[in-house]
Every structure is written in structure tokens, then in C-alpha cells.
Amino acid sequence: MWQDLAHRTREDLEKAGIRLFLKHRALSIYNSEKTVEIIDELERKAFFAYDRLVLATGAAPRRLGIPGIDLPGVFFLRWMDDGLKIKNHLASKRPQKIILIGGGYIGMEMAEAMLHRRLQVEVVERSQLLLKNVYPGFSRRIQTELESHGASIHTDFTVEKIELKGEKLHVIGSKGRPIRADMVLIAVGCLPQTELAASAGIRTGINGAIKVTRRMETNIPGIYAAGDCAETWNRVLNRYTYQPLGTVAHKQGRAAGENAAGGDKTFAGTLGTQSVKIMNLVYARTGLLAEEAVRAGYDPVSSRIETYDHKSYYPGASSLQLMITADKKTRRLLGAQVLGFVGAEISKRLDILATALYHQMAVDELEDLDLSYTPPLSSPWDPVQTAAQAWAQEH
């Protein structure tokens, strides 16, 4: 049941003392009166009064500014409704070939989902490589993984229009031949929804996201914002970014909510941690790549190792790759990436490095961590420590 995807039921929320106004839309904020004008599904308007206000208006899919995105069989990916429409379309039209526009995290997950349905998958990506901000060697390995499961990948392909010719959708790019398919899914990122905030004169910044303090307060005292509609403090970059992720939204929501209720909670900031499963592979990252670190004023150097997830004499060992980026002068860890197989504890291994990064550890100190070891699951030096030792030796 699609309802199972919700974290909590209506009853859960109401039991917690929250009054829910579903099918109500907020039209405008009148900050001097401390009211919000709302409209319900019968088009009746009303004013709700507030002491403090939290904006959690989220984001909407970035729409390609090209002809054809409204054709039948073309879908964006964001809300539950999108998922239900796609599911209906798959059931009723039985498309055989799917084009995914956008080779980011969501694109990868959709590629996997469609391959599991035994559909033909073609991924179209504007840049040279899948997955932005991933070490190119890892990105190429991920591409190979998708291809080995039957997907076709078209990189360096900028979509100019989508056309319907007969029964087929044609995705037409600046070069190369058009690609034909029965269905097109577009996942090229999202943009914050801030029309409501704008009505109150709330300031926006990066990508149009709402500017907030570390306490998640906007420029208007008493009005907070959190989640995909707001900017995100990055602990490693020491500046605001736009990072519409669930992990970030949860943390920001807590801070905004606690502060709106009279508490005092500072959002600790993101490290840019992300993970994704692509067929048999898991990729995870935290912090900065070398290029990002240079732009942030660091002097980064990187090391990469390939090793086994656990002692190779114990059955089932699989190879994994780790990349460590750190500042040459301070030797402080700046970022890490791990690529390996499902079942090899890749994502939580990366989280050891994310926890180290949170504490601004020097790479040399990583070997001092007392990490767990048993032959089926690790080595006496965990691979994250072997990677740190390699970095320390090389630099």
C-alpha cells in the first residue's frame, strides 16, 4: 500500500497534539498581523493567527525548459502522486522501453527500479559522467554496473526536445540520433518552493532557497524555515549551500520546530553525506572532493586504495575502493568516498569517516580509532584505517 510509505498516520500526528489542515493551501503571510491566509478545497478563505511560523514548503522538480515535457508518457519524479501516475502508466500501457533523463542519484535509483521490472532502460545525462561530484573512476564503474545489467547510458547528451511520433516518444539531443522510447522519466534536480515566503518579504539566496540562520530562523524574527525550501549550512565548506536531502530536512525540522516552540537548538550543518545503491554496488560519500575543497580555500590531496571488506581468507570477501581527501598543511580530513558491493557494509563504513569528519579529525588520527573486527566482517585495521594510512604515507 502506498500509504505505508508515510512515516506517520494522521492519527499518530493528531495524537501528538497536532491539528492537521489537509487540503488547505497557504496563500499569503501577513507578518505584521501574524496571520496566514489559507484556502480550503471548497475555495473558502480564512486567516490563521500564529505566534511563530515554520515554513516547510519543500521543493518542486526542476523542469527542463524544452518542448515536449507535457506529452503523455513523460513524467517528473517528486510527489506520491507522480509515483502513482507512473505505476498506473506502467500497468495500463505496458511500456517496454524507458528513457531516464538525468544521471543523478534519483536517476540511478529509477534505473535500478526499471531494470528490476525487466524493462529496457536508457539513461541520458548532460555531462560526461553519471553522478555529479563523484570521483570519475567510481562513476565509470557505476556506469559499467548499469550496462552489465542491460541499461544503455548516453552521456554528454543535452536534451533539446521530446516529440511524440506515432506510439513512440523521441528524445532529441543536440547531437547524435534521437532515442526512442515508450515512456520518459525526468529527474534533473529540484528547486525550492518559496512563493509563500516571498509574500512575506522573506529573503532567499542560493538557487532561490530561503536564507536562514543556524537556528533556522529567516530574516523575519519568529518565522523559521526547514527542509528543501531552505538553505543548508555546510560544516566543511563553512558556508551555506542548497542540499535538498531527507537527512538534512529531518535535522533542520527539529531545530526549526524546537526554536519555534521556545527552545534553543542550532543546526549542526551538513557534511554532504550521501549514499546510493546501484544494482550490486553501493556508493557513499561525505565531505568534499578535491575540486570542491580547492574552491573552498583548502589545499587538498587525495589517496585511493582498493582492498577487501574483510579478511580475504574468510569466504565471501569482496573488493572495495576508498578515496580519502585531506588538507596537505593541516592534514585534516576533508572528504571520503567508498565504492563496493552490497553486503560489504559500505554505507556505514563511510559513516565512520563522516563521524570523523564531523570531529575535524586529522587523517593520521584515524588509525587510533578502536573499530570492530572479526574475520567475516573486517580486518584488524578496518579498510577506512588502511585508506588513512595510505594517505598519511603518500603525503
Q: At what angle do helices 136-148 and 105-116 cross, to 10 degrees?
A: 20
In the complex, the smallest distance separating the C-beta of residue 25 from a copy of itself, rounded to whole angstroms, is 26
Closer residue to a copy of itself in complex, CB, 153/320 = 320
Closer residue to a copy of itself in complex, CB, 302/389: 389
- Pick from 184, 187, 354, 388 the residue near a copy of itself by CB under 8 A: 354
Q: Cβ 153 to a copy of itself, closest distance in Å?
A: 20
Residues 271-290, interacting with a copy of itself (CB under 8 A): 271-277, 282, 284, 286
Nearer to a copy of itself, 221 or 313 (CB): 313
Per CB under 8 A, 368 contacts a copy of itself: yes
- Cβ atoms within 10 Å, residue 82: 14
332 lines the binding site for a copy of itself (CB under 8 A): no
CB-count exposure of residue 261 (10 Å: 0-12, 13-18, 19+): exposed
Q: From the list 349, 387, 391, 392, which residue makes contact with a copy of itself (rule: CB under 8 A)? A: 349
CA distance 341 to 318: 7
- Chain-centroid distance, C-alpha 363: 26
Are the beta carbons of 138 and 161 closer than 8 angstroms? Answer: no
Per CB under 8 A, the segment of 47-55, 121-129, 243-251, 319-327 that binds a copy of itself is 243-251
DSSP line for 1-24 = -GGGGSSS-HHHHHHTTPPP-TT-
Angle (nearest 5°) at CA 139 between 387 and 343: 60
Residue with cell 596537505: 328
Applying the rule CB under 8 A, the residues between 291 and 330 that interact with a copy of itself are 313
Size of the site for a copy of itself (CB under 8 A): 56
**Residue 106 binds a copy of itself, judged by CB under 8 A:** no
Q: Show contacts with a copy of itself in window 192-231 (CB under 8 A).
A: none
Residue 171 CB, shortest distance to a copy of itself, in Å, is: 27
Indicate whether 377 belongs to the interface with a copy of itself (CB under 8 A): yes
Instruction: Identify which of residues 204 and 325 has a Cβ nearer to a copy of itself in the complex.
Output: 325
Considering only CA atoms, which of 145, 140, 137 is closest in space to residue 121?
145
* Residue 317 CA, distance from chain mean position: 29
Of residues 62, 141, 168, 254, which one binds a copy of itself by CB under 8 A?
254
- Asked if 249 interacts with a copy of itself (CB under 8 A), we say yes
| Candidate segments 31-39, 60-68, 81-89, 374-382, binder of a copy of itself by CB under 8 A | 374-382
Q: Is 270 in the site for a copy of itself (CB under 8 A)?
A: yes
Span interacting with a copy of itself, options 35-43, 68-76, 171-179, 345-353, rule CB under 8 A: 345-353
Q: Determine the Cα–Cα distance for residues 145 and 280; give it in Å rounded to an integer.
A: 8
User: CA torsion angle for 323, 329, 334, 338 (degrees, to 10)?
Assistant: 10
> CA-to-CA distance for 212 and 241, rounded, in angstroms?
11
Q: Which of these ranges, 13-21, 162-170, 296-304, 357-365, lies near a copy of itself under the rule CB under 8 A? A: 357-365
Q: Are 304 and 277 in contact (CB under 8 A)?
A: no
Residue 264 in contact with a copy of itself, rule: CB under 8 A: no
- For residues 371 and 384, the answer to whether their CB atoms sit within 8 Å is yes
**What is the spatial order of strands in the sheet that 159-165 belongs to?**
159-165, 168-173, 179-181
Among 20, 23, 370, 393, binds a copy of itself (CB under 8 A): 370
SS in 3 state form for 186-235? ECCCEEECCHHHHHCCCCECHHHCECCCCCCECCCCCEEECCCCECEEEC
The stretch among 47-55, 129-137, 220-228, 248-256 that binds a copy of itself (CB under 8 A) is: 248-256
Q: Which residues bind a copy of itself (CB under 8 A)?
A: 4-5, 105, 109, 235, 245-251, 254, 268-277, 282, 284, 286, 313, 342-343, 345, 347-352, 354-356, 358-359, 365, 367-374, 376-378, 380-382
